[in-house]
Structure 1
Amino acid sequence: MTAFDTEITQTGGALVGPWRRPRQMLQAQTYDAHASIHDDATAQKLGFKGGTIEGPTHFSQFAPLCERQWGQVWFERGCLSAHYRSVCYEGEEVQAILMASSGEQLECQIQMVRRDGTEVLRGTASIVDSPTALDLRLRELKPLADPVILRDVQVGVTSKRQAVRMAFDQNMGDLYPFSLRQKLAVITESSPYYSGADNPWGKPIIPMEMLSVLFQYRSKEDPLPAKGPAVGLFADQEIRLVNGPLFIGEEYEVEREVVALSGSRRTESAWVKTRVFDKAGTMVATMLLNMATLKDSYAPYEEEHRRLYGAGS
């Protein structure tokens, strides 16, 4: 059985997927008892056209390209490492591109674009433990100066381990108010590997975009001591399979560590590394996530900044 029936075009040194319209499934998402950036009204208050599509939704469009490049090993040791460059709204068409000059290439540049040429994300796909797009980006970060929202968050802080699992019909909570079955009904690239046992591992596997959901499932039970309420978005994300794939219905344990803090004119960012273990204690996957919190979304930001750092800072 083939993993995907996605139509892929080979153009020069690139594998190019079809144009797709990803679905937005987070309209009902709540964060700290308030609506998130994926809610139309909340997003519009912050200058966006409407609720945005969550970044890892786009990872599915790269899966057929990566499977074409590397075969079965992609599902076992694949890594997508991406910097989100612009938001995408439901109804917009986007296309995934993987730059692969040869079948021997173990790391490739990736890009996603909209019809008008706007870059949605850029990064790397790989099956080797080499410097990824976000490894390089972390080295160039501007450190977080004069923190307000994240002033109580410390690099090196690690959460307690949490047990997580994903069943077909399990609602994934306030952060992800839908089930895997609902996602599979609208996922941009469907695969029989996701729904049945007719694959190399003999049981259905979790799509890479849904690994983000699994790893974040219980994150709010042990939150970072960030100030709020405030609205955040995914600015950078890397998912790496170390000993994959991960399976539907199986229990895993996750722990999170703050590995960096950074800032920009509009955001304060906590970079969190999630490590995922199976029941035997073997690390099976990792995720690096830059959750960028919008300064304008935290009502007392200016007042607290003046109090902490003075009017002239």
Structure 2
Amino acid sequence: MTAPFDTTLALCGPLRQPRQMLAEQTYGGHLSIHDDKTAGDLGLKAGPIEGPTHFSQFDPLLVSLFGNAWFESGCISAHYQNMVVEGEEVRAFVQPPSRGQGLGSEKLVRIWAEKKDGTPVLTGTASVGDVPDAQHEIPQRIAKLRPAPGLVINRDLKVGQRGAQKETIAMGFDQHMGDYYPFTLNSKLKVITEPSPWYTAEGGASSPWGRAIIPIEMISVLLGSTSALAGFKGKQPAVGLFAGQQIRLIKGPLFVGQSYDLEREIIALSESARTESCWIRTQVYVAGTRTLAAEMILNSATLKASYANYEKDARELGLVK
């Protein structure tokens, strides 16, 4: 029997007002783009909310589709489109999986988020299980990148370069995550857009895994807190931002208080008219083992206009006349 309609439907969550928690973030000896003054100097109206903050709004929608597998083998892959500042309202959307349209189609969905006025915030994909990585938003964008022979800020970085130091990390409830993330998990849980008892010290034992789990948005914080140890440093001082991000759980969830070993590698370098990007893959192993628990791909973009010597260095490198 032929279906009477071919209308594309989507699940959507409520409008939320995500909170800004990085106003005091510092790196390279200076404040970040999340500081209002720094943002204003770069032509922005205020310090933006960090992109992965929006991932929490997708969790209830994706659990409704995929069940607890979302926290065990979920993958969210997003290209960030427009910045959000505190006070703006955002809504998450998920297009339910298609049926019978190829490998992994029943496990893969399109996702997007919009401000209340319809301004796009992010676009991407989400999945559970063994969906090929190449079907996701960030790997597809990497595959389309053109060579970037004219890098100035990131000229000393190389594709294939690996992290300079061993990193072993953990996230406790009251553990300050450093200058790059100047807050704790407990402080985040007080304002997270989609609270769950599974994230808490009190309710963690009631989770299906018998332990408190780290919210997917906070996996970005966990992995980013020691990122300076990798030595992937472009010319400074300069201001960066997240332009795209993929977080994939392989043997999840990640647990509060559990130690993990990190291995990082630059997998691509690129540039646009306004930015230079370093694409970094971070693999997450249960500490002391080769059990791969999760992986993140981050497009860390640096604003050309924020590096005072950009034009001077470009001329010296023979990139401009």
So what's the TM-score if we normalise by structure 1?
Answer: 0.94
Give the secondary-structure state (helix, strand or coil) at the position aligned to 2:206: coil
Q: Counterpart of 1:129?
A: 131
- Alignment of 1:185 onto 2:183: no
Whether contact under 8 Å (1:144, 1:268) holds in the other structure is no
Deviation per residue, 1:30-51 (Å, 9 max, x gap): 0111000000000111111110
Work out which of the residue numbers 147, 155, 158 in structure 2 matches 1:154: 158
Give the secondary-structure state (helix, strand or coil) at the position aligned to 2:236: coil
- Alignment of 1:277 onto 2:279: no
Give the secondary-structure state (helix, strand or coil) at the position aligned to 2:47: coil
Q: Counterpart of 1:16?
A: 12
**Greater mean alpha carbon deviation, residues 139-148 or residues 195-204:** 139-148
Deviation per residue, 1:62-85 (Å, 9 max, x gap): 011110000011110000000000
Structure 2: where are the runs of 5+ without partners? 1-6, 100-104
Q: Cα distance 1:178–1:139, how it changes in 2: closer, same or farther (>3 A)?
A: same
- Alignment of 1:251 onto 2:247: no
Counterpart amino acid of 1:105? E
Q: For this pair of structures, how many residues does the alignment match? A: 302
Whether contact under 8 Å (2:107, 2:131) holds in the other structure is no
> Offset at 1:229?
0.8
Aligned-residue RMSD, C-alpha = 1.4
Q: How does 1:77-226 map to 2 (within 5 A)?
A: 77-101=73-97, 105-127=106-128, 128-130=130-132, 131-159=135-163, 160-195=165-200, 196-226=204-234
Deviation per residue, 1:188-214 (Å, 9 max, x gap): 000111012101100000000000000
**Greater mean alpha carbon deviation, residues 91-100 or residues 145-154:** 145-154
So what's the TM-score if we normalise by structure 2?
Answer: 0.91
Counterpart CA distance in 2 for 1:311 and 1:81 is 35
Counterpart amino acid of 1:81? S
Deviation per residue, 1:80-106 (Å, 9 max, x gap): 000000100000000000000569820
Q: Counterpart of 1:228?
A: 236
> Offset at 1:242?
0.4
Deviation per residue, 1:273-293 (Å, 9 max, x gap): 000000332000000000000
Counterpart CA distance in 2 for 1:311 and 1:262 is 18
Deviation per residue, 1:149-179 (Å, 9 max, x gap): 0000000011133100000000000000000
Counterpart CA distance in 2 for 1:138 and 1:12 is 28
> Alignment identity in percent?
52
Give the secondary-structure state (helix, strand or coil) at the position aligned to 1:293: strand
Counterpart CA distance in 1 for 2:173 and 2:320 is 53
Counterpart CA distance in 2 for 1:15 and 1:206 is 24
Q: Counterpart of 2:102?
A: none
Whether contact under 8 Å (1:229, 1:298) holds in the other structure is yes
Counterpart CA distance in 2 for 1:299 and 1:192 is 47
> Offset at 1:226?
1.1
Counterpart amino acid of 1:305? A
Counterpart CA distance in 1 for 2:250 and 2:264 is 16
- Alignment of 1:265 onto 2:273: yes
Whether contact under 8 Å (1:14, 1:101) holds in the other structure is no
Structure 1: where are the runs of 5+ without partners? 1-10
Give the secondary-structure state (helix, strand or coil) at the position aligned to 1:69: helix
> Offset at 1:187?
0.1
Give the secondary-structure state (helix, strand or coil) at the position aligned to 1:262: strand
Whether contact under 8 Å (2:230, 2:264) holds in the other structure is no
Whether contact under 8 Å (1:13, 1:99) holds in the other structure is yes
Counterpart amino acid of 1:145? P
Give the secondary-structure state (helix, strand or coil) at the position aligned to 1:259: strand
Whether contact under 8 Å (2:97, 2:108) holds in the other structure is no
Give the secondary-structure state (helix, strand or coil) at the position aligned to 2:212: coil
Q: Counterpart of 2:3?
A: none
